[in-house]
Structure 1
C-alpha cells in the first residue's frame, strides 16, 4: 500500500490517471486510513474526476476533522458547472478554520466562480485584499495577482490588467502562470511554437528541479497502521460520493440563484478572512492600482482546475 502512495505522489503532476490508479489500489488495501483517502481525492482532482474527488476529500475531512481542501472542493464544483456551490463553500468557512495560504486559494476559486456567473466586477472587488500588494512574496502571490489581472481584464479594465499581469510575472518565481504570454497578447505580440518553447526555458529555474520522490500526500502513517490496515483489508463502505449526486451533475440553483444576484456585498466582506486586519484596498495611490470600491459595488476569473 505504501508503494502505491509513493507512486501516486510521483505521478500526480505528469501522469494523473496513472497516479489515480495507484491511489485506488491503495484504497482497496487500506480504505480506513485518512491519508489514503486524501491521496485518492487529490489524484482524482488532477485527473479531472471531479465527483470522485469531492467524495474522497469530504471523507478525508470527516475522518480527520480538518478542512484543508476546501479550495479543491470548490474548484471541483466549478468544474461541474455549479459555481453557486463553490461560493457557498467560500461563504460557509470560518475565519479560524483555514491558514492564510488555504484562505487565499479559496478566495481565488470563489472569485473565479463569480466570473463564471458573469460578475467580473464582483470578482475584482473580492480580490482587493491587502495580500495582493504585500511586499513579501509568498508562493501564492503570483497566482493571486494573476487572478486579479484576469478579473480586471474580464471587467474591461485593460490598462490595469496589464499592470497586474506584470506584477504577477514579477512574483511568479516558480513560473506557475502564463503571465508573460498574457502580457505579450495585450501588447499585440503573437508567439510561434518555437518562441513559446524558448520562453518556457527562460522562465524555468535549472537549479530548482523537483525531486519526484519528495512530494508527500496526507499525514504520516506508521508501519503499525499500515500493518493493521493490511490485516483489516478495509472496505469502501465509507466512501461518501453522495455529494452533488442528487442534481445528476447539473447545477442546483434553488434559492442560491437569488443569492448570487443580491448578496454580492456579503462575499466582498467575507474576503477579509484572509487578512489579519480590517479589509483594505491594496496599493492605494500608486499607478495602475485599483480604486477603492464600496461593498455595494459588484466578487479573478480563475478557470476550473487552475489550482492543480
Structure 2
C-alpha cells in the first residue's frame, strides 16, 4: 500500500472516530500478534512486517461487524504470516550455511510461562522449521495459543475437520523431534554457567563431560561473517571448535528466547549469540547466531506473550 493510500485511510478513520478504538485494540493484542508471527516465521524483522500488514488491514475493518476482535486480528496475522512464510522458504533455499531463527532478548518472566518459553526456544523453532507452512500455523495456533479448531479453520482456509487432521499430524511430527523433556530455566542456567566456565578456562575435559557424544553445533553466519557451512557433529569436533573461541571474547549470560543463553562480545560489540539444547542432563545442541542482520534486536528486550 502506498504512503498516500495509508494517509488517506488514517484521515478517513480519524474523521469517523474509529482510529482510537482500532488502535487501542491493536496495541492491546500487539505482543500476542508478534509472538504468533515470530513463531511462524522465526524472524523478528519479518514478524514486524507482518504486524504492519495486519494493522493496515485492521484499520480498514468495520469494527461493528467484528464479533471477536482478538480472533479477527489473529486471523489476519496468520494469513499474512503464511504468505511471508512461503516467501521465506524460497529465500532460505539460497541461504549460505545453516539457517537459525533470529534470537530475541526476552524478559525474565517469559521463563515463568514454561509452555511459552518452550514454544519460542531456539530448539523448538528449529523443529517448527521442519513443518509445512499450514502445519506450522495450525500447530502454533492450537498447541501454543489454544485457539479453537473453528477459528484456525477460518485463518488457514480449511475445514475444522481438515484442521484437526493437520493438527494431529503436526503434533506427532513435533513430538518425534522436540527435546525429550522440558528442561527448567534453572537447570539450563546451571549448565550454561558451567559451560561458560569451561570455555573461558579452556578446560577441554570439562567441556567433553558436559556435551553429548552426538552433539550438533549449528553456526549461522549467513555468508556475511565466518561460520561453518555445515553442521559440526560429535563431541570431539565441537569441543575443538569451542576451544578456538577468541580469548578476547567476553561471554555474558542473557535471557534469549525464554531461556538462558550466552552473548559473546568482541570490543563491546555483539559477535555471537549462543543458545543450547539440553537432553538428559547433557548439551545436545548448540545454536550460534553470527549473522549481523539477526543480532540487531539482541540489545533490547522484546515482549512476547500468549
Whether these two folds match at TM > 0.5 is no
TM bin (shorter chain): under 0.3
More strand by share: 2
TM-score normalised over the length of structure 1: 0.26
